[in-house]
Amino acid sequence: MTDIDQAKAMARRLRAALEKGDITLNHAAALELVAAQLGYDDWNTASARLDPVPEAIRFLRTVPILRIFDEAKAREFYGDFLGFSVVFEHRFEPNMPLYMEVARAGLALHLSEHHGDASPGSTVFVPMQGVHAYQRELIAKRYNYGRPGVESQPWGDVLQVHDPFGNRIRFCQMRDSQG
């Protein structure tokens, strides 16, 4: 049985073989031809029915969990100051510890009041673009508890913020050779 990655590889090999004979075929057209060769009406049908790669290990994303102790301070720091939006909130019942996700520009963080979910004083390293613009945005907010600067390091420009719970987030615009 052909899996989806094998079918995509077939399309790449088909394009390469045709290019040797001066025949140009875009990738989408090659996928359609492979789908037909495998007995499917089109690539969309083939990709829906083909097996995913067996035993493939793929990490989809990382979501750090940071320990918090005060919901109002967490909302002020992560929402008002850093500009994150609340994605979801969860409590097992009223007056129980809060667990929530905040996100901005592709970065998600989980914040937890639950003992044992995370250690206070953790550091999260976040590669990003636009670190100087972000620093200007944060400074303009005139947050009472921090006005972070950008430090130039051999690996990139680093903007470090400290949340009210002892956690650090290091936003870093990597140097070209490090990216």
pTM over 0.85: no
In angstroms, the CA 95 to CA 91 distance is 8
**pLDDT (tens digit per residue) in 21-47:** 889 889 899 999 988 998 899 989 888
Q: Please report whether residue 56 resides in a domain.
A: no
pLDDT band at residue 56 under the 50/70/90 scheme? low
Q: Are 10 and 17 in contact (CB under 8 A)?
A: no
Q: How far is CA 107 from CA 49, 83, 85, 130, in A?
A: 32, 11, 11, 14
**pLDDT (tens digit per residue) in 104-132:** 999 999 999 999 899 989 999 999 999 99
Q: Residue 146: give its domain's CATH number.
A: 3.10.180.10
In angstroms, the CA 91 to CA 148 distance is 32
9 shares its domain with 72: no
- Cα–chain-centroid distance for residue 2? 30
Range of the domain at 108: 65-178
User: What does the block give as tokens for 71?
Assistant: 């919901």
**pLDDT (tens digit per residue) in 133-161:** 999 999 999 999 999 999 999 999 999 99
111 shares its domain with 162: yes
Whole-number pLDDT of residue 1:
56
